[in-house]
Homo-oligomer: A and B are copies of this chain.
Amino acid sequence: MPDEDTAALPIYAMPGHVIRRLQQVAVSLFVEEMEGAGIELTAVQFAALVAIDAYPLIDQSTLGKIIAYDRTTIGGVIDRLEDRGLVRRVVTRENKRIRQLIIEPSGQELLGRSRPVAERVQERLLDPLTGPERDAFMTLSGKILDAYNDLSRAPLRPMNRR
């Protein structure tokens, strides 16, 4: 039973491990806050709704690039949102390959209730840090992401660029 001699494992000092744990905490807070608000939305689903609301008629591939998710993952996420009537796929006459996405009124309504909850999650996440520390954390994180922006599995890219 190793309790305090956890130092024997260098895992705790490894950035990869720390980042994964941060992600665990972030997800926990998101689930906790959403459940507390009686809202059934995962983090991906929320991000998708935000993006579809901001860019009506966006296609799935572009959506994936914006919120940094794999195209295949997006497909499954949209499936579930569509099943619940929160979102709709549109196939135009011009290009039948493309699935354009539209947020439904019920989706709008749910998104409206979700925004303040998501806002609270972000606040709670950095709550253990002081104001300057929060800025530092975001700046340092951004520096890492900038360096590896094109390496990510689903590279994050602004819409208007190739």
- Number of identical protomers: 2
* CB-CB nearest in chain B for A148: B25
Report the separation of the CA atoms of residues A118 and B17 in the bound assembly, to the nearest whole angstrom: 11
A contact patch SS: helix
> Quick one: CB contact mask for A78-119 with B, threshold 8 Å, 1 for yes?
000000000000000000000000000000000000000010
Q: What is the minimal beta-carbon distance from A14 to any residue of chain B, in angstroms?
A: 5
- Determine if A126 and B6 form an interchain contact, defined as CB atoms under 8 angstroms apart: no
* CB-CB nearest in chain B for A6: B158
- Determine if A138 and B18 form an interchain contact, defined as CB atoms under 8 angstroms apart: yes
Report the separation of the CA atoms of residues A14 and B78 in the bound assembly, to the nearest whole angstrom: 22
Question: In the complex, which residues of chain B have a beta carbon less than 8 angstroms from the beta carbon of A159?
Answer: 5
- Determine if B2 and A66 form an interchain contact, defined as CB atoms under 8 angstroms apart: yes
Question: In the complex, which residues of chain B have a beta carbon less than 8 angstroms from the beta carbon of A18?
Answer: 138, 141-142, 145
The 6 closest A-B pairs by CB, nearest first: A5-B158, A128-B147, A23-B23, A25-B148, A137-B140, A16-B26
